Amino acid sequence: MEPHSPEQTVAVRPDHNVRQFVFAAMVVVPALLFWGLLAVVGVGLYGIVVALGEEEQCTVARIPLTGVLTTTSGGYGVLDYATAADQAVAQIVDADMDDSIVAILVDIDSPGGTPVAGDEIARALHDATKPTVAVVRDMGTSAAYWAAAGADYIIASPVSDVGSIGVTMSYTELAGANDEEGSRWVGIASGAHKDAGNPERPLTEEEQAYFQTQVDTVHEYMVSRIAEFRPILTREEYAALADGRAYLGSEAQTLKLIDGVGGIAEARVHLAQKLTVSEDLVTICAAEDTMFAGLL
């Protein structure tokens, strides 16, 4: 084949350049436009997410204490309406470690529970390094009030039930009903007191005295711990109020069992004053929304 003449070479080059230009126009330019548009949209979405995060950022962890207070989730068998001290304590500790959280609020609606559960929650609140506030809703009595005593500040509705500082082991004895039905209790146990307290038979005087001693011991410990966690009153003053009565919130404030009346709104005002910040910066959210919730 003969080599191209200069005229032929000049005629070919323009066609090649045209093909390159067409390729760039059809493939490269649209690709650049796509990725550029994607980058712009991505930056915009990121800005929106950041803005929303700043608006809804949690500053106060809200930890619920509802129902019967138990030590673990299985502490009272199958109970839907219960709070385990294990979980509540973990949430308090996690919130105290979270740098984005500035205060802790326990939201209480509980008739009480076990002495150990109340004491463990109170200790966790007392040991927290951040401001803590307890808000009593319908009820904060017995072990629930014990737990609240660990907080720096207690608020309750004027018509809440508060206090009921006391201990009970009462139960319904069925021995009389068994006699009427012709049933007879047969006691087979490894020790003299192993079946003490079984409702199918009457307590002996010795057994009743023993259980009363236990109740009195726990009661004394409860009063002492509340006075330790909340030294607004002396131990003797708490003891005088610890006859098992539940007081209305308005009365409880007069007796200094609580510090103020109200609810969540009043708690926000108190925390804003405590932290010397605007109320707008006191944003309360569920403890599950805090960064350490995944460790529970």
Task: Give CA–CA dist 197/10, Å, rounded.
Answer: 113
170 classed as catalytic: no
Domain check: are 257 and 186 in the same one?
no
**Buried b / exposed e across 188-219, counting CB within 10 Å, b at 16+?**
eeeeeeeebebeebebeeeeeeebeeeeeebb
Domain check: are 48 and 106 in the same one?
no
For position 71, what pLDDT does the model report?
A: 93
Domain check: are 210 and 128 in the same one?
no
Task: Give CA–CA dist 280/278, Å, rounded.
Answer: 5
Domain check: are 156 and 66 in the same one?
yes
Amino acid at site 280 = D
- Domain membership flag for residue 3: no
Residue 204: strand, helix, or coil:
coil
For position 145, what pLDDT does the model report?
A: 98
Domain check: are 232 and 256 in the same one?
no
Q: Cα–Cα–Cα angle for 185, 188, 191, nearest 5°? A: 125
Pick the catalytic residue: 73, 100, 194, 224? 194
Domain check: are 177 and 265 in the same one?
no
For position 286, what pLDDT does the model report?
A: 87
Task: Give CA–CA dist 296/13, Å, rounded.
Answer: 72
Domain check: are 86 and 196 in the same one?
no
Joined together, the tokens standing for residue 80 give 């839907």
256 classed as catalytic: no
- Domain membership flag for residue 1: no
For position 81, what pLDDT does the model report?
A: 80
What is the 8-class DSSP label of residue 279? G
Q: Please choose, from the candidates 86, 93, 82, 81, the residue with its C-alpha nearest in 3D space to the C-alpha of residue 71.
A: 86
Domain check: are 212 and 182 in the same one?
yes
Q: Do the Cβ atoms of 86 and 131 come closer than 8 Å?
A: no
* Domain count along the chain: 3
Range of the domain at 23: 13-56
Domain check: are 47 and 124 in the same one?
no
For position 44, what pLDDT does the model report?
A: 41
For position 275, what pLDDT does the model report?
A: 94
Cross-strand partners of 112 = 68
For position 189, what pLDDT does the model report?
A: 61
Domain check: are 113 and 68 in the same one?
yes
Profile the chain (296 residues) by mean pLDDT over runs of 10 residues: 48 51 51 54 41 62 95 64 93 96 97 96 98 97 98 98 83 57 61 64 78 88 97 97 95 97 96 92 77 38
Pick the catalytic residue: 110, 142, 157, 164? 142
Domain check: are 120 and 151 in the same one?
yes
